[in-house]
């Protein structure tokens, strides 16, 4: 090309705008950053108890704390799954008036007291537990000898050790744990005149 001559421009596709590739790159990078920032919050939302889920929606950066705690779970943890925790609760309460039905994972500060409230037969109770790790299994169920048999918190199990941190039987009177005598006679029993 000689001096003063301009180079012919390459033909553009119909509807193409200059800098479109750069805009697409910026949008892709922003979308990836948002996904990377929020993804742990979605994971925490999925795996924690319903009572805690909104915390991860309101403060998505807490999802990273959850993710780091999940990665750092001790390999020798006794109750790694909800199934293991439910079986342990059912074993603990076997032959009692307490019927564990569901377990939910709680994410709490490490080695600090976790206080929770729950209702038992119309009474509101407040209890505290201190876990050894950031996860606790909250066991919900019913007490068959109470008039209100709706589900409530019946136990808290330590994720790492499997130890029971809270037992609803400690908050009940002995009379609330024994079944009322039935009015129907036992089969084979004789009545006295």
Indicate whether 16 pLDDT > 60.
no
Please give the pLDDT value at position 35: 79
Nearest alpha carbon to residue 98 among 58, 38, 145:
145
Q: What percent of the chain has pLDDT over 90?
A: 34
Handedness of CA 181, 182, 186, 192 (dihedral sign): positive
Please give the pLDDT value at position 174: 81
Please give the pLDDT value at position 181: 60
Please give the pLDDT value at position 119: 87
**Higher-pLDDT residue of 183, 127:** 127
**Higher-pLDDT residue of 79, 73:** 79
Cα–Cα distance for residue pair 34/176, rounded to 1 Å: 52
Instruction: For the full predicted model, state whether its pTM sits above 0.85.
Output: no
Residue 130: count of CB within 10 angstroms of its CB? 13
Please give the pLDDT value at position 183: 54
Residue 52's alpha-carbon distances to 108, 116, 183, in angstroms, are 10, 12, 44
Going from N- to C-terminal start, the domains of the chain cover 23-71, 82-177
Please give the pLDDT value at position 135: 93
Handedness of CA 13, 15, 17, 21 (dihedral sign): negative
Each residue's pLDDT tens digit, 31-74: 888 878 888 888 888 888 888 888 888 888 888 888 888 888 87
Please give the pLDDT value at position 87: 97
């Amino acid at each position: 090309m000689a001096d003063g001559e301009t180079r012919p421009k390459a033909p553009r596709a119909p509807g193409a705008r200059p800098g479109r590739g750069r805009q697409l790159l910026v949008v892709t990078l922003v979308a990836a950053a948002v996904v990377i920032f929020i993804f742990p919050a979605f994971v925490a939302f999925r795996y924690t108890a319903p009572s805690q889920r909104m915390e991860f929606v309101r403060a998505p950066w807490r999802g990273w704390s959850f993710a780091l705690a999940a990665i750092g779970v001790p390999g020798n943890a006794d109750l790694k799954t909800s199934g293991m925790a439910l079986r342990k609760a059912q074993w603990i309460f076997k032959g009692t008036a307490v019927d564990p039905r569901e377990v939910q994972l709680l994410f709490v500060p490490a080695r600090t007291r976790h206080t929770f409230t729950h209702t038992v037969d119309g009474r509101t109770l407040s209890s505290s537990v201190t876990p050894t790790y950031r996860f606790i299994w909250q066991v919900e169920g019913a007490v068959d000898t109470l008039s209100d048999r709706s589900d409530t918190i019946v136990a808290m199990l330590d994720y790492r050790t499997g130890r029971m941190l809270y037992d609803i039987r400690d908050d009940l009177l002995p009379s609330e744990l024994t079944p009322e005598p039935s009015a129907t006679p036992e089969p084979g029993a004789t009545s006295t005149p």
